Amino acid sequence: MLWVAPGLFCFSINKVLLGVVNGLRRMRAFALYTSLRYVLLAVALGFAYATGLDGEQLPVIWTFAEGVLLLVLVVELFANVEVARGTGWRTEARKHLAFGVRGVGATLAAEVNSKLDVWMLGSVLPNGSPAVGIYSLGAQIFEASPSSRSWSRTTSTQ
């Protein structure tokens, strides 16, 4: 965990910075940076193999790739965005936060509702029962399939 934690932090920042690049409609740069992540992972994996890195230290390749990508994206940000134009962001942030707070309750309720049957099944069946995992996988596949949405709508209105 120690080896991958910094990479996970950088990954979350990189997701936001890649969103900025995408929002600026710099599609070639976006594609380049997205590809760069995998190239850096391959380079780090090759370096780890060449140096005989221990298996428990292998997640450091994620930290390396995401850290280098973070540096590249910060340079991209400062090269293409006028940071001084960012005044007044607090009022916009309040609007976005207020909107998000209103939606989080409904989202949590929907998630709990969709998982409640799995939790109940897990509490009733003995520990380690494979039926819970099979049912959970089936429920996830059903939720993910586009046809389930139309099936749910047609059966609930009858």
* Least confident among 10-19, 32-41, 78-87: 78-87
pLDDT over 90 percentage in the chain:
38
**Per-residue CA distances from 156 to 116, 142, 151, 153 (Å):** 19, 16, 8, 5
Q: Is the pLDDT of residue 158 over 60?
A: no
* Least confident among 58-67, 92-101, 126-135: 126-135
> 31 φ, ψ to 5°?
-65, -40
Q: Is the pLDDT of residue 157 over 70?
A: no
pTM of the entire predicted model: 0.59
Mean residue pLDDT of the chain comes to: 85
Please give the Cα distance from 109 to 118 (Å, whole number): 15
**Contact of 132 with 138, CB cutoff 8 Å:** no
25-65 residue pLDDT tens: 999 999 999 999 999 999 999 999 999 988 888 889 999 99
Q: Which residues contact 76 (CB under 8 A, 6 or more apart)?
A: 17, 21, 29, 33
**Contact of 117 with 127, CB cutoff 8 Å:** no
